[in-house]
Structure formats: structure tokens, C-alpha cells
Structure 1
Amino acid sequence: MPTLLLVRHGRSTANTAGILAGWTPGVDLDDTGREQAAALAGRLAAIPVAQVVSSPLERCQQTVEPLLAVRPELGAAVEDERLGECHYGDWTGRPLSELAKEPLWRTVQDHAAAAAFPGGESLRELSHRTVDAVREWNAKVAAEHGEDAVWVACSHGDVIKAVVADALGLHLDHFQRISVEPCSVTAIRYTPQRPFVLRMGDTGDLSSLAPKPGAGGHGDRGGDATPAGDAVVGGTA
């Protein structure tokens, strides 16, 4: 099955200001975020990306622009609102230091499955829409580009943590244990048996994720004879 590269957007002006941006329009990458986005294109240089899908929000669109500029064959990123940021409702635009004093903050931290943002959505709803989106796109990419295809989805921190929690079989209450830095890459390969989390929050070299001819996988198998949906007993080469 294809390999999904989940990219968190680069550092934004809201990140540096300590503001919960949510779906606020006009939140752009800051200078560091633009540098991170430019570096991402180089980090993915060895990987034959078949498709780029993105949250419609500006900071995600700006993150994939340098990659698309050097891969004109990809065209524009396909926007999918299901990969957009959590709808934080009344929390949107407020300082994180202020939100940390709200009673709901502790629920978000310790019992995420019970957390629903006033005037917005619950974290359960976030998880359902985002996991459905990546699994549907994965099947579409497989049908159009083959089982060894690699595709990119650019999204947001809480979205990526929810998708990773699902891939790891973690209860949503534990998704705050997962950390994804700005412009980090998390790689997941879905198989009929289980997902394999190949990278989590990686900010370095990604070249080993390129498909290896004849190896039957994307770098996690080492060319062994283990069936494609099985984990390698004893670890990989």
C-alpha cells in the first residue's frame, strides 16, 4: 500500500505569538516557517511523490509551495477541508496562556475523547474526519499511482496527532503523548493488516523512505521475505 507523508505546516505567525489560530484566515508562515518550507523540498528530493493534498489554510498551502515549485508535474496541491485544523470555536484567536486557565484545558490534556470546544467540534469528530480522509486518499492514490506510491498530506498538529494515534492503536485520550514539530514529517504505510508508523515528527533526512526496487516496501522491510502486511520478527535490517 502507498506511504503517506504527513507534513505539519511550518512555523506560523500564530505559533510565535502563542495564539490558537484555528481557522482564522490570513495566518501565514513566519520567516523561520518559510525557511522550513524551502528546506522540505530538499528533504523530499529523493522521494518520488505522486500526489500532494493539503489543508485549505494558508500556512499549509505556503508550506507545500516550494515542493510544488520544483515538482511541476504534480500541479497544484489538492485541498481537502477534512485535513483542515480543528474547529476550536470560541477558543479561536485566544492566547494559549489564557486558555490554559480554562477548565476545559485539563480535559483536552487528560481526557481528549471527552473534549468538545464550545461553538466548535469535539476531538472525537476531528479524529473521525481526518482518519477517514487519509484512508480514502490512500486508496485513491493506490488506485491511480500503484501500491508503492508515496504521497504528501500537509496539515496541522492536532490533526496529525489524531491520525498517528489511530495508526498506533492508541486511545484518543493518549494523543497528547505525540509531538509533531513545525514542518516535521510523519510517515505511515497502511496495509490490509495494520498501519506501520515509519517516522514520527521527523525533521531530518527522509531519503530512506524512497521505494526500493525489488524490496517490496518503503524502507521498513529491508528486502526480507516477510509478507507485506506482517511486522518483521526480530527487527529490520
Structure 2
Amino acid sequence: MIERVISSTLRFYAELQKLKNTLAILVAVALPLFVAFLSFVIYLSEGHKLINAGTNPWHGYIYHLQKFWAGLLLPLTIILEASLINSIEHSNNMWKQIYSLPVSKCAVYFYKLLAFIFLNILTAVSLTFFIQLFGFLLIFIRPEFGFDSPSLIKESLLLSLKMMLASSAIIGFQFLLSFNFRSFVIPTVIGFCITVGTGIASSWKHIELLPYSYPSLSTNSPDAQIGNIYIIIALLSLVLTSAAGFYVSSKKEIS
């Protein structure tokens, strides 16, 4: 049992080490930084119009930033990261070497997917960190805005994690695409088209039928509760796409 745990840990660690040779970690940190900085600049110049007197400015600051993130940039980040995480094996044609190792083909898929999920957790934590960082900068630069109020760190982190969980369907589907297509372009374009299509259909009364809308829909109730129907459906979708990935991986022939 102990040997199995150690072996699993080492395999997962090996997948994380591969990320150092890609831009995936940079994307996971840089895009949340960009969004948080953009919001900071907007509040710096227009904060007096955005903050209601007598209220905690952190509420609007956190919610509107993360709502924008969930509706557009979170799906695009996942799409880009999914293509990057498999880029080493595809670009260097390393699949033959990987499948020759004494590891089951399903395990190969599982540990890469696990590393991808970790990457998305890193993205959620990075978003929360940069939101708080730039919010605290506003305390010193524009003290009149009232950002010295309670900073709602817990609520911000929970909302980030809620959006990540609601994006599980996107995580599973985009990873499956990038795992099977050697081309970086194909899964990226497919994901981009679905994301744009979902955005165009955002006012559709049956928008809940489109899983790429779940991150945004999950933020409609900006409370501290993690669970909602969109997260449940998204997690079930992740299980189904993972099962499909295990099957495809087990049948994969490398010449």
C-alpha cells in the first residue's frame, strides 16, 4: 500500500515537473495577474463612480472582477492550458516512449489530467491572490475609497474555487481534445468557437444546456456556498469525459 502511494506521488510529481518546460504555469499566473491589474487600473481612475457610499467596496470589486473572469477568460485560460500541457509529448513525439514504460495507458491519462486539474487550482488561487494584492494597494493609493474595510479573502477564494469546479466540464472536454489531437490549433479553435458561441447565446433562456456557461452561471449567487447544480453537472461531465479519455488512451496505438 505504501509503495503504491509513493509510486503514485512520484508519477504525479513527474507530470508537474514537465510543466516547467511549457508555458502552462506562466498562463495560470499571468492571466489572473492581467485581469486583476486591469480591474485595479479601472478602480484607480473610476472608483468614485463604481463604489456606493456606505458600503464595503470589496463586495463589488471582487464580484464584478470574478464575474468577468468566469464569463470569458476562465474558459479561454482552460483551453490554452489544456493545449499546452500535452504539447511536450505531441511536439517531440514522446508518446511511444511514455507508453513503453511499465505504467498502464489509463494511468498515463489519469496523472496528466490530475496535473491539469492542479494547474487550474493554481489559477484559482492566483486570481484570489492578485485580487487581494491590488485591493490592498488601493488602500494606500486611494484611501478615500474605503478598501480598509474587511477584505473578504475567504469569500473571494471560495468564489474562485466555485468557478473552477463549475468549469470541470470544460476541463474534462478540453483535456480530452488536446490529448488526442497532435495539432495545438484544433482543440484551441474548437474551444474558442464554443466559448464565443456560448457568449453570444448568453441571453438564451436555455443557456444552462451549454456547459461552457457554467462558470458564469455559478457566480449568479455570490455567496460562500460551494455547491450548486451547475457544479454537480460539471463534475459529472468531468467523470464522463475522463472515462472516455481512459478508454481512448487504453486503445491508443503508437507506431
**Of Structure 1 and Structure 2, which has the larger fraction of its residues in helix?**
2
TM-score normalised by length of structure 2:
0.26
Select the structure of larger CA radius of gyration: 2
TM-score normalised by length of structure 1:
0.28
**Of Structure 1 and Structure 2, which has the larger fraction of its residues in strand?**
1
